[in-house]
A and B are shown apart, each in its own frame.
Chain A
Amino acid sequence: MNRAICVNTWRQFKSNNVRLILLTLLILAPLAHFTWRRCTYEYDLMEDMISYPFVASLFALIWGVGVISCERQHGTISLVLARPLTVSRYVLSKWFAVGFAASLCSLQCLFVEHAVSVILYPPLLSNLDFVANGLERVILAFGTASMLIFYSSLVTGLKDLALIVGTLFAGMVGMQFLRPILISEVCMRGAGTAGQQFMTHLTNVVGSGFAVFFFPNIPVSEILNGSSAIFTSTINFVCVVTVCLSLAIFFLSRKEFSYGQD
């Protein structure tokens, strides 16, 4: 990692008011939601009200959108890469900066939520569910950061956000509409049992791959409960992170850079 690049990424973020407002809202929104639920007696005070680890992905999204692509658009990346620094080091530093910042924000959010629960019902202090939740958030933040870095290396400006939304939408459409059609009896007529099995298996694999790519996580709570396998989740997570970062390094290494607007 390069300390200068990490610090510069955080300071860049600090100078962006829109992102700061979104960040504050994201920290406060779950807390406001739980307070409202408590006030309306929908939840018991004895419950530890903490949000899902998924929040970490949203924090990573706020931090990570345009992290490389905006530098490419403004041309500031060229001056950084003119220094004795490899593209891989640059990409890893950006990934770490986004992952670390998103983890820190989501953990802060978690601590505030847990603290409120403990204040309202002190015996919840001994509840250690939030530790697993926190760990999951950190993993998810770094996983999502790698996916964002990959998208950010492909385009310039904030087009990576459009690309993410587009891919997500296409994937959802594919899973909801195309998959049932592909494995329907009408479509599979004459394919035989083996063909039908193959098609079903293929669509399942594509669907799982899509979910893993957009939600790269190791479900710590489920692993602790024994409902999920640690090995498969870890392999999936490591694969997504490695592939995303490698592709980002590959694409950036092949790009030509110029000063000024790209």
Chain B
Amino acid sequence: MRDVNAAAVQAGGSTCQPESASGSGIEVVNLCKTYKGGRVKAIDGLSLTVRPGEALGLVGPNGAGKTTLLGCLMGFLNYQSGTISIDGLAVDDLVTRSNVGYLPERLTFDRWMTGRDFLHYHHELSGRPHKLQEAETEELLRRVDLEPSAWSKPVRKYSRGMLQRLGFAQALIGKPRYLLLDEPASGMDPHGVLVVQELLQSLRAEGLTFLLNSHQLDQIERSCDRVAFIQKGKVIKEENLRDRESSLSHTLIIKWLLDGAPVEASAFTRVTAHCGATLEQFSPEDGLARVFVDNEEDSASLIKGLVEAGVPVTRVLPELSRLQRVFIDEMRRGEKQ
């Protein structure tokens, strides 16, 4: 039987007080995972790197292999070929396990346990000092915004959102340096989604490295530095979300005041043509137009031109978020292939 602390010392790390952004991150090289004796390829030569302190979002259609990838990263699934290392160590190494927190999409609980019991149990399993158990448990329960009246209730009485919050607290109980999150806001009410959003942002500010698998693209866009598009078990594109999006073309929705003088279609067309943009839709009765622009410079000159032409512009919104656009483009490309 291997002693966790001894293993941590051997690897030059600490299990109890992990540093926030050290180590070599998560490295997945040419990973292949099949089911049903090789007939179903869930992951097909996937390679991925997550640097320490970075937040990576995983995006892809259902059945793309995202959850399987997280299963392999946690060491629950045996893969056929390729390598996975976290801080240079194997996924089933005890030091790795003490450094990684995991929130599955649908967490299962012993129904008789109370929320507090559940966290106490995992606190002890994580090897955290017993004297800190009560304080750390309460801190986490508050952090995930779980009602104090629910702490001592059996989890069978919890709603789906409450279970998800408890699951999130469980993922953070061992003070992990890496967090693998599979649909963290799944089943939550709007308030719960906001709590998860705030949590993710605060974790990112603390320098925690996380891998977020979510179908909520806005959540990934707000919380992650980078996004990997996965389709048919492969990373088909990686996108840096912190870059300026000057090179990307997109459609803008422009809205104006309906109370003032009517906006002429000819004036609108002239301004858009002058800026190199394309007018796709013009609805004077609704007070909105859809305009396709090539880049950010064109957007700026379009807005300036419209204001100078006397259009009482109230809002300029992108029709789709940046990630939504890239996602749709990639999915279309994948379908064509």
Q: Chain B binding site: helix, strand, loop or mixed by DSSP? A: loop
Whether the pair A4, B102 counts as a contact (CB closer than 8 A) is: no
- Chain B residue with the shortest CB-CB distance to A5: B125
Kindly state the separation between the CA atoms of A223 and B122 in the bound complex, as whole angstroms: 45
> B105 to chain A: which residues have CB within 8 Å?
259
Q: Mark A1-43, 1 if CB is under 8 A from B, else 0.
A: 0111100100110010000000000000000000000000000
> B102 to chain A: which residues have CB within 8 Å?
79, 82
Min CB–CB distance B176 → chain A (angstroms): 10
Kindly state the separation between the CA atoms of A88 and B92 in the bound complex, as whole angstroms: 13
Whether the pair B125, A85 counts as a contact (CB closer than 8 A) is: yes
> B74 to chain A: which residues have CB within 8 Å?
78, 82
Residues of A in contact with B, size category: 20 to 34
| CB of A89 within 8 Å of the partner chain | yes
Whether the pair B126, A83 counts as a contact (CB closer than 8 A) is: yes
Kindly state the separation between the CA atoms of A5 and B111 in the bound complex, as whole angstroms: 16
Q: Mark B67-79, 1 if CB is under 8 A from A, else 0.
A: 0000100111110
Which of chain B's residues 102-120 have a Cβ closer than 8 Å to chain A? 102, 104-113
With A3-B124, A4-B121 already in contact, the answer to whether A259 and B108 are too (CB < 8 A) is yes
Which of chain B's residues 100-150 have a Cβ closer than 8 Å to chain A? 100, 102, 104-113, 121-122, 124-127
- Chain B residue with the shortest CB-CB distance to A73: B108
**Partner of B174 from A78, A83, A86 at Cβ < 8 Å:** A83
- Chain B residue with the shortest CB-CB distance to A78: B76
Interface size of B by CB at 8 A reads 34
> B125 to chain A: which residues have CB within 8 Å?
2, 4-5, 80, 83-85
> B203 to chain A: which residues have CB within 8 Å?
none
| CB of A75 within 8 Å of the partner chain | yes
| CB of A159 within 8 Å of the partner chain | no
With A8-B121, A82-B97, A83-B174 already in contact, the answer to whether A76 and B126 are too (CB < 8 A) is no
Kindly state the separation between the CA atoms of A221 and B184 in the bound complex, as whole angstroms: 59
| CB of B15 within 8 Å of the partner chain | yes
- Chain B residue with the shortest CB-CB distance to A80: B125
| CB of A214 within 8 Å of the partner chain | no
Kindly state the separation between the CA atoms of A221 and B174 in the bound complex, as whole angstroms: 49
- Chain B residue with the shortest CB-CB distance to A16: B112
- Chain B residue with the shortest CB-CB distance to A8: B121
Kindly state the separation between the CA atoms of A193 and B106 in the bound complex, as whole angstroms: 65
> A83 to chain B: which residues have CB within 8 Å?
97-98, 122, 125-127, 174
Apart from A76-B109, A89-B1, 19 more pairs, CB < 8 Å: A2-B125, A4-B121, A8-B110, A78-B74, A78-B104, A79-B122, A83-B97, A83-B122, A83-B125, A83-B126, A84-B94, A84-B97, A84-B98, A84-B126, A84-B174, A86-B94, A254-B78, A256-B71, A258-B77
Chain A positions near chain B (C-beta within 8 angstroms): 2-5, 8, 11-12, 15, 74-76, 78-86, 88-89, 92, 254, 256-260
> 6 tightest A-B contacts by CB?
A15-B112, A4-B124, A84-B98, A83-B125, A75-B108, A259-B104
12 contacts between A and B (CB under 8 A): A2-B125, A79-B102, A79-B108, A83-B126, A83-B127, A83-B174, A84-B95, A84-B125, A84-B174, A254-B78, A258-B71, A258-B77
